[in-house]
Structure 1
Amino acid sequence: MFCYKVSGKFSPWRGRIVRRQNSSSAPVEASSTTTLSPALPVTVFSGIQPTGSLHLGNYFGAVKLWTEIQNDPTKQLITSVVDMHAITLAWDPKALRANIRRMFIELLACGVDPSKTVLFQQSQVPQHAQLQWIFACLTTMARLDNLPQYKEKSATQSDIPCGLLLYPVLQAADILLYRARLVPVGEDQVHHLQLAQHTARVFNHHHGKLFPSPQRLPSDLPRVKSLREPAKKMSKSEPDTKSRIEVADSPEQIMLKCKRAVTDFPAEITFDPETRPGISNLLLLYKTIRAMEMDAVLEHFRAKDKVALKEELGEAVVELLRPVRENVRHLEGNLEFVERVMEEGAEKARALAADTMRLVENLVGFRSDVKSVKEMFKKPAKTAVAVG
């Protein structure tokens, strides 16, 4: 687990922006048909909404993967706290400010390393909104109307905000602004990734082959379900806080939430996600935390009951999250460090975004640089960031 505490003090991070030639984000290589050199780092983009504290579902579904990607020399991870997405429905500004800072603290506490990852706040990079507008002008209403998540969320709204409809367009801009080639997304976001692929094709067809076609980055990490409604995924926005284990929960809170987790009536412990989703969710969590095969987990609990399973799961979660809780406490006592990470991350992201937008603005006719667009495409890439 990555930790910022060194000899009782926080090690200051001094990020610097440098230009690096021959990046995988090179405009000349931006066609979706281009074959990448294995020696070039591949850009991976991912984001998370600041709508509440990180929970185990976020940790296993995204953050743990990010900590692995950032240590892969063949990849460059760009991670955004996507606060603009968090206002598509009614929001409280005071709560949003607190949630944004909290999200940075918890991501750092979980091991996201700003010396290896470009970690930034979405709204502090205005090019996201600029590119979204250009993409919105290339996207039809019919295509957006048919997206499953829009249908689901708009069904409960009497007055539907435009932002809810345009949410996937902003998501496409988030990804393509950094010319990302890989995006780790869950099943519920696949349609939005497909929209990003479509948007890249449409832009490239009409204005020039600038954007790669982003592909889904698969993961074998589990999709953690709600402790109260195991048919649903664990969620930050669920009103019932007992439905999720947050990464900064106390040991007492964790044990209580595990104890109250929904299972079912049969006494024996079996794994069957279709007919026994509650107990299967707990078994899958235990398997993942203890790094065991499911057969071994079932054998371990063969002569035990559900009370024992919940107790042992609680103990495993407490042990897993202990360093995270410690890191959270340290970071809460050093908010200047957190602010510096936020500022320097935004600076790096703006540098990357500015390179892409300069090309986009030339291609769509917003500006004319001294050199022709053709010449710009020929020169070496200047969009990669060296972190650390």
Structure 2
Amino acid sequence: MGRIPGRLPFFLETFAQSSIKSHGSRIHPERFNSTSNKVPDMKAHQTREVIFSGIQPTGVPHIGNYVGALQNWIRLQELKKEGKKEMDLYYSIVGLHAITLPRDPLQLKKERFEMMCVLLAIGLDPAHCCLFNQDQVPAHSEMAWILNCIAPVGRLNRMTTWKSQIASSKNSNSLSEVDDSMLHLGLLAYPVLQSADILLYKSTQVPVGEDQIQHLELTKVLAKALNKQTKNKNLFPLPQGIYTRQSKILNLRNPTMKMSKSNPSDLTKILITDTPEEIRKKIKSAVTDSIESIRYDPENRPGISNLIDIYQSISGQELEQVQRRFQDKSVVDLKSELIELLIEHFRPFNAEFSRLVNSREDVEKIYLAGSQKAAAVANLTLSQVKKHIGLD
């Protein structure tokens, strides 16, 4: 799949593939004590690029989540560390979004903690980005309500994301099976909460996937409405999308569907915490076809093409390079080399993830500090809005 229409910022266009192998093994909580609690200089904050992105704590990410979102988070952090870009980075675990569909409370608590361990283990460093739990910053809920009061319901009804979320929760690929009786207000208003997440930090750019473009457009509509209502056209910038070239990673057993964490079959997905044995089993059982040669053809050979997409995304090679690599090889060769690539790529991550899961006190200190840092910025924005609408 090609790039989503829209301008890809030059700093992502030219930045080389980052690797967990390079970053993950260097993450230790003691590195975060010096600068992670520092609240941004708000005057400087408003003159720099501000990037916000969130991930739901709905289980350990699979490789589709990793290549579609988390790799970009790492790349942006590296650009900041190397001084190639002046920016403030806000990466949030969005627990309030996770409860728009029914969740087991104990499981959600566990997965919320594990998601923070994942973010640290892949190489995100609170000295260079703000890692926080959305639900620990009450301004998100208050800002969302203010935006709900100006959000056009018709526009929310026309959005497809709530339908796809319900379908995904039922492991269905058909939106036609979803009707309004399955819809709750929280899920319908999910994009408004997402807009609140973005606007609270006066974000200038947001990494978005294909299914989130309509949400970003809603955010712009709401930002314009608030700017007009407050008679301050500069109160909120209109956030632009950071679009990626990454291919969509598909279900290993049914490559007509996206890879999904909610699918009950473990063989359909590769989690980034999978052991070498689990990776071998899943790739070996991945659906391909009866043709022995290898050719990239997503329409007619989705299974083979999906494996090539995974190899390309993890290796960082261009698609043409990967096709040349396997043009004279067999499907067995492709699966074998992909297995080894995945095992080696995620080996340092898994070691660091295991260490962090057993260091709960250190991890809790990190995300509490991040939430305090985020709250300082969010509360200031919220107070500006409340002053303009008469609630100060």
Q: Report if TM-score (shorter chain) is over 0.5.
A: yes
Contact 1:224/1:234 (8 A) holds in 2:
yes
Residue in 2 aligned with 1:72?
Answer: 79
1:224 aligns with 2:249: yes
In 2, Cα distance between equivalents of 1:143 and 1:287: 37
Q: Does 1:44 align with 2:63?
A: no
State the structure with more CA Rg.
1
Matches within 5 A, 1:110-189: 110-153=122-165, 155=178, 158-189=181-212
In structure 2, the CA distance between the partners of 1:56 and 1:355, relative to structure 1 (3 Å rule), is same
2:37 is paired with a residue whose SS is: coil
Structure 2 equivalent of residue 59 of structure 1: 66
**Unpaired runs of at least 5, structure 1:** 26-39, 368-388
Flag the 1:340–1:115 CA change in 2: closer, same or farther, 3 A: same
Letter in 2 for 1:174: D
Q: Is 2:233 aligned against 1:212? A: no
Corresponding residue number in structure 2 for 1:23: 44
Return closer, same or farther for 1:283/1:150 CA change in 2, 3 Å cut-off. Answer: same
* 2: CA distance, partners of 1:10 / 1:169: 34
Q: Distance in 2 between matches of 1:349 and 1:22?
A: 15
Superposed displacement of residue 223, structure 1: 2.4
Superposition deviation, residue 5 in structure 1: 5.5
Residues 1:118 and 1:279: Cα distance change in structure 2 (over 3 Å): same
The letter of the residue matching 1:232 is M
Aligned-partner SS, 2:90: strand
2:119 to 80, 91, 107: 107
| Structure 2: stretches of 5+ with no match in the other structure | 1-21, 81-85, 167-177
**Over the residues paired in the alignment, what is the CA RMSD in angstroms?**
1.8
The one-character-per-residue Cα deviations of 1:199-230 (angstroms, maximum 9, x if unpaired) are 00111111233111111012223322221222
Aligned to 2:218: 195
Aligned residues: 351
Letter paired with 2:151: T
Residue 72 of structure 1 aligns to a residue in which SS? helix
Contact 1:226 1:243 in 2 (8 A): yes
* TM-score, normalised with respect to structure 1: 0.86
Contact 2:29 2:363 in 1 (8 A): no
Which whole-Å deviations, capped at 9, do the CAs of 1:28-74 have from their partners, x for residues lacking one? xxxxxxxxxxxx43000000001110111111111111011112232
TM-score by length of 2: 0.85
Tell me, yes or no, if the aligned pair for 1:114 and 1:345 is still in contact at 8 Å. Answer: yes
When structure 1 is superposed on structure 2, of 219-228 and 150-159 the one drifting more is 150-159
Superposed CA offset, 1:269-317 (max 9, x none): 1001121111111012212333333333233223322122111101100
Asked if the contact 1:181–1:215 (Cα under 8 Å) also holds between the matched residues in 2, the reply is yes
Identity of aligned residues (%): 40
Which position in structure 2 is the counterpart of 1:348?
373
Q: In the alignment, what sits opposite 1:326?
A: 351
Letter in 2 for 1:118: C
SS of match in other structure, 2:155: helix
More helix by share: 2
2:341 pairs with 1:316? yes
